[in-house]
């Protein structure tokens, strides 16, 4: 699954420890999946999630 936008993006090193991204990572890892987040200031954001199908 891929989710993307063309918004302002964010600096990953300055991302808060809020529930959003942390919650996504925890759920994906709990299902033995992988998640990558590609973003940068003024670059938008792309989130890729790969989950095993059983």
pTM tops 0.75: yes
Q: Which domain holds residue 25?
A: 2-50
Residues forming beta bridges with residue 44, ordered by sequence position = none
- For the chain, the domain total comes to 1
- Of residues 41 and 2, more confidently modeled: 2
Phi, psi angles (nearest 5°) of residue 11: -85, 110
Q: Which residues of 1-36 are buried (b: 16+ CB within 10 A; e: fewer)?
A: eeeeeeeebbeeeeeeeeeebeeeeeebeeeeeebe
**Per-residue model confidence as pLDDT tens digits over 5-47:** 999 988 877 766 567 888 999 999 999 999 999 988 888 999 9
Closest-CA residue to 38 (of 2, 17, 18, 30): 2
């Amino acid at each position: 699954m891929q989710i993307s936008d063309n918004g302002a993006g964010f600096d990953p090193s300055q991302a808060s420890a809020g529930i959003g991204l942390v919650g996504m990572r925890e759920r994906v890892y709990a299902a033995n999946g992988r998640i990558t987040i590609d973003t940068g200031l003024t670059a938008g954001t792309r989130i890729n999630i790969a989950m095993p199908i059983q």
